[in-house]
Structure 1
C-alpha cells in the first residue's frame, strides 16, 4: 500500500509540472506568431501596395490657354492659314508614391522604420469631356478634333505641373503619404512607426 501511494504522489507531482511546461511552450509559440505576423518585410510591402491608395493627393484644376497655329510647308508659313483660338479645359494631377519608393529600414513586428525614396507626380490627364474651344478669328466655337486639341494642350501640362510644385504641391504629397502610411501600419498592429523621406 505504501509503494502505491508513492507512485501516485509522483504522478500527481509530475502532472502540474507538465502542464506548466506545455503552457509556457504554447505561450512562446503564440507570442512568437503575433510578433512575427508582420515582421516579414515582403508581406508588409505587399500589404501597403494592396491596401494603401498610393495616389495620396488628387489635384483638379481648370485652365484657359490661347493658341495660335498656322499651316506651313518646309517651315514656310502659308499665308491666311493662321488660326487663333482659346481652349478651356479641366485637368487632374495625381501625386503619391510607387511601391518601389518604399524601403523598410527596421522591422521588429511591433516597431517599424520606413524610408520613402521619393514622392512624385504619378499621372496627369485632361478631362476630354470638358473641353471648350473658341475661335477668336471667326468668333465662333470651332469644331476641332479631340486629338488635335489634346495635342495642343499637352505642352501646357508640364508648365502647370511646375506651377503647382512651386506652390507646395510636393510638400502636400509628403504630408498625406506619411499620414496614410502611419494609419495603415497602426491598423495592422505596429505600435511604434517612423516614416522618413530620403534627402534629395
Structure 2
C-alpha cells in the first residue's frame, strides 16, 4: 500500500509538472501584441493599392496654325479618339504609425494618392481623322491629347468621390491586415489619415 501511495504521489507530481510546463510553454509562444509587431505586419503590405477606377473616354482634338493670334485658313486638323484607362490609388504603408492605448490599436497612414493613371494602348481607336497637308497630325499630337484626357479623367473621378472611396477602402484593408494577427480580436482598430 505504501508503494502504491508513493507511485501515485510521483505520478501526480509528474502530471502537475507536465500541465504546468504546457501552460508555461503556451504562454511563451503566444505573441504579445505590440505596436512594433503590428507596424511590421502593416509594412509588409508595402504600397497598398486599395482602389481601381476604370474609365472609357471619347475626346476630340482640334488645332490649326496661327499667325499673330489669327487662325490660318485651310490648316485645321482634328481627330476623335476613344480609349480605356485605369486609375490606381493606394497608400505607402512603410510610413504608417501604430500606437496601442488600452484596448484600441490606432493606425495613422498617409492619405491615399494616385499610384498610376494609365491608358490601355490596345483600346485606342482613332475616328474622323483629317489629312491636312499644310498641318499634318503628328505622334506628339496624339501623346499630348492622351495626357490631357488622362488628367481630365482623374479630375472627373475625384469629382465622383474617388478619394473618399479610396480612404474607406484603405481603412477596411488595414483593419483586415491587423485582424489577421492572433489575439487582436480583443482590440478596437482605428485608422486615421495624416493631415
- The 1:128–1:196 alpha-carbon spacing in structure 2 relative to 1, beyond 3 Å, is same
CA distance in 2, matches of 1:178, 1:95: 13
Distance 1:107 1:33 in 2: 23
Is this contact kept in 1: 2:105–2:188, CA < 8 A?
Answer: yes
The corresponding residue for 2:91 is 97
Unaligned 5+ segments in structure 2 are none
Q: Within 2, Cα distance between the matches of 1:159 and 1:184?
A: 34
Select 2:20's aligned residue among 11, 15, 24.
Answer: 24
Distance apart, 1:177 and its partner CA: 1.7
Q: TM-score scaled by structure 1?
A: 0.70
Q: Deviations over 1:31-82 (max 9, x none)?
A: 2322338762453134434xxx822111111111221235689x99876443
The answer to whether the Cα contact below 8 Å between 1:103 and 1:117 also exists between their aligned partners in 2 is no
Mapped to 2, the partners of 1:106 and 1:179 lie a distance apart of: 18
Q: Which residue of structure 2 lines up, in the alignment, with residue 165 of structure 1?
A: 158
Q: What TM-score, normalized to structure 2?
A: 0.72
Does residue 68 (structure 1) correspond to residue 62 (structure 2)? The answer is: yes
The residue aligned with 2:191 is 196
Offset, 1:125: 0.1
Question: Structure 1: any 5+ residue segments left out of the alignment?
Answer: none
Native 8 Å contact 2:49 2:90 kept in 1: yes
Query: How many residue pairs were aligned?
Result: 187
After superposition, what is the alpha-carbon deviation per residue over 1:146-187, rounded to whole angstroms, capped at 9, x for unaligned? x75233211232232122112211111111122222223323
1:129 aligns with 2:129: no
SS of the residue aligned with 1:36?
coil
Give me the whole-angstrom Cα distance separating, in 1, the residues matched to 2:159 and 2:45. Answer: 29
Quick check: 1:41–1:107 contact (8 Å CA) kept in 2?
A: no
Task: Say which structure, 1 or 2, has more relative contact order (CA 8 Å, 6+ apart).
Answer: 2
Aligned residues of 1:185 and 1:193 also touching (Cα < 8 A) = no
Q: CA RMSD for the aligned pairs?
A: 3.9
8 Å contact kept, 2:92–2:110: no
Is this contact kept in 2: 1:116–1:195, CA < 8 A? no
